[in-house]
Structure 1
Amino acid sequence: MQRCRHHRVARQYSSESESESESSSTSVSVSSECQTETMITTTMKCLSCQASYESRDSGTCKECYEEANETEEDRKREIEDLKAKVAFLRFWSPFDPQHLSRPNGPCFTDVVLVASSDDGSSSGPPIPVPAHKAVLISRSPVFKAMLENEMEESRSGTIKIGDVSYDALRAFVNYMYTAEACLDEQMAYDLLVLAEKYQVKHLKAYCEKFLVSKLNWENSILSYAIAHQHNAKLMLDAALSVITDNMDKLTKREEYAELVEKDPRLIVEIYEAYLSKQVNTAAHKDSLMKS
C-alpha cells in the first residue's frame, strides 16, 4: 500500500512538472512573439524630415532617401557641367603638339617672349616663346599696360624678359593658357619671381603653396630671403617659423653669412621674431602655472 502511494505521488509530481514546463515554454513563446511584434511595430524618426518610419527600414524614410539620391545625381551633373565649362574656357596652348607640328608654327600668335640675360652670358641666340597678346593682356595687368599702350614691346611684337631661363619662361606662358604647371623647387622659385613681376596672382599662390610644402631647415634661409624679396607672405611666415625653431644652428650656415653681408636687416628681423616667440612662450607658461 505504501509503495503504491509512492508511485501515485511520483506520477502526480511528474505530471505537475510537465505541466509547468509546457506553461513555461508557452510563456517564453508568447513573450518572444510579443517582442518580435514590438520590434516590428516600433517606429523611429527620420533624421532629415522627422517623419516616422519602421525600424526595419534603414536610417531614413523612403522619400528622403529618394530625394538624397536625386540630389547626388544633380551634384554629379553640376560637376560635369563645370568641367565642361572649364574645358571650354581653357585656352589651347601654343605648345600643344598639334599646333607645334604646323609648318608655320603655332597659329595666329602675334607676340613672342624672349628670355634674355642682363649680363649677356647666354650662349647662342635666344629661343622665342610664341603667345597671343589677347591672352597675355587678359592674364596680367602688367602685360595689359605694356601691350595696350604705344610701348616698344607693343610696336615690335617682342617682349624681352631678363634673368629667366627658357624653360621657366615657357612654363610661365603655358600657365597663362592652361592654369597648369609642372613644378620642382627650382621651377617654383623661378615662376614665383615671374608671377610677382607680372602680377599673376593665382600662379604666385600656387608656387607659394608648393614651396611651403617642400620647406625644411636646409632651404629655409633661402626661402625666407626670396619670400621677403617677392612679398610671399605665406612662405615668409613658414620659413621664419622653421628658422626660429633652429636658432642654435643658424650662425653655422653659409647662407647666414651671406645674408649678413647682403641684407643684414633680414637678420635683424629673424632675431626680433625669435625674441618675440620666446616672450610669448614664457608668457604662456606663466599663465599655465598660475591657472
Structure 2
Amino acid sequence: MSGLDARFSNCSCFSYVRDRVSVSRSVALELCEQEKSIKELRGTVKELRDKLYFLVAYEPGPLNEGFRGDIILVGYDEEPVHAHRFILAGKSDVFRRMFENDMREKESGIVRIEDATAPVLRSMVKFCYTAEASFTEASVAEVLRIAHKYCIIDLKTVCESELSKDINADNICDRMVVAEMYEAKSLEYKLNVFFKENFDRLNMYSVVAKRLCSRSDK
C-alpha cells in the first residue's frame, strides 16, 4: 500500500474511489478483449465474403449463356438446364445414386424431371453451385418441392425460412399443405406458432378442409 493509500485507508470515500478505479480497469480490459474479438470476427467475415465472391464470380449455366456442363436437366417445359454431374452428386445423394446406377442418364447425359420447370431447375442448380437461392422466376414452394425430392437439405432449409417470413391468415392454409407434403418441419413449427397465436381470427373451416383435401390427393 502506498503512503497515500495508508493515509486514507480508513476513509470510506477513498475506498469507494479505489474500488471504482479497480472496476474501471477491469471493464477496460474486458472491452479491449471484446474489441479484439470483434476485429478478428470482421476479418473472418471479410475473408468469407471474398471466398464467396470468388465462388460466384463465374456464374453457372442458369445465368451464363456460354456455360456447358456434362449433364442436361429437362423439365416438362422442355427447356434445357446445364449442370455438372459432380456438382449435383456432391449436393444430393439422390443425384449421386442416379449417376452411379442409372445407365440411361449415364449414356444420354439427359435427366428428365417431369414435375418441374426450367426456372425451378435453374434455381436448384444455381444453389448447388453458389449456395445462393433465387426465387425471381420460380415460386419458393416449387423450389422447396424439388429440394425435398432430391434431398438438397440446405436448399430446403432456405425455402422453409423464406416461407416462414410472411405467414398470414390468407396463406397459412396453403403453407400448412406444403409443409405437410414436403416434410418441412421448421416451416410447420412456425405455422403452428402462428396458428396458436391467431386462432380466434382464422377460418377454421378453410384450414380443416384444405388439410383434408391435401391428404385425399396423396
TM-score normalised by the shorter chain: which range applies? 0.7 to 0.9
SS of alignment partner, residue 112 of structure 1: strand
Q: Are the equivalent residues in 2 in contact too, given 1:111–1:131 (CA < 8 A)?
A: yes
Secondary structure at the residue paired with 1:45? helix
How many residues are paired up? Answer: 201
Of 36, 39, 47, the match for 1:81: 47
Report the Cα distance in structure 2 between the residues aligned to 1:69 and 1:262, rounded to whole angstroms: 54
For 1:31-180, list aligned pairs within 5 A.
Answer: 42-43=17-18, 44-46=21-23, 50=26, 60=28, 69-88=35-54, 92-95=58-61, 99-100=64-65, 105-107=66-68, 109-116=69-76, 122=77, 126-180=78-132
Taking a change above 3 Å as real, the CA distance of residues 91 and 177 of structure 1, as seen in their structure-2 partners, is farther
Match of 2:203 in 1: 249
Query: Separation in 1 of the partners of 2:213 and 2:185?
Result: 23
Contact 2:119/2:137, CA 8 A, preserved across alignment: no
Deviations 1:220-242 (A, max 9, x none): 11111111111111222333444
CA contact (8 A) 1:91 1:178 kept: no
Q: Tell me the residue number matched to 1:283.
A: none
Gaps spanning 5+ residues in structure 1: where? 1-37, 51-58, 117-121, 266-291
| Inter-CA distance 91–139: structure 2 relative to 1 (3 Å threshold) | farther
What runs of 5+ residues in structure 2 fail to find an aligned partner? 1-12
Contact 1:221 1:239 in 2 (8 A): no
Aligned-partner SS, 2:28: coil
Residue 183 of structure 1 aligns to a residue whose secondary structure is coil
Describe how 1:176-215 pairs up with structure 2 within 5 A.
176-183=128-135, 187-215=139-167
User: Residues 192 and 207 of structure 1 are in contact (CA less than 8 Å); yes or no, is this contact kept in structure 2?
Assistant: yes
- Which residue is 1:10 aligned to? none
User: How far has the Cα of 1:164 moved from its partner?
Assistant: 1.4
CA, structure 1 residues 135+67, in 2 after alignment: closer, same or farther (shift >3 Å)? same
Contact 2:98/2:105, CA 8 A, preserved across alignment? yes
- Please list the CA deviations of residues 119-162 of structure 1 after superposition, one character each: whole Å capped at 9, or x if unmatched: xxx5xxx1100001111111111111111224311221111112
Identity across the alignment (%): 26
Cα distance in 1 for partners of 2:36, 2:133 equals: 37
Based on CA coordinates, which of the two structures has the bigger radius of gyration?
Answer: 1
TM-score by length of 2: 0.75
In 1, Cα distance between the equivalents of 2:40 and 2:190? 40
Higher relative contact order (CA 8 A, sep 6+): 2
SS at match of 1:153: helix
Per the normalisation by structure 1, the TM-score is: 0.58
RMSD in angstroms over aligned alpha carbons? 3.4
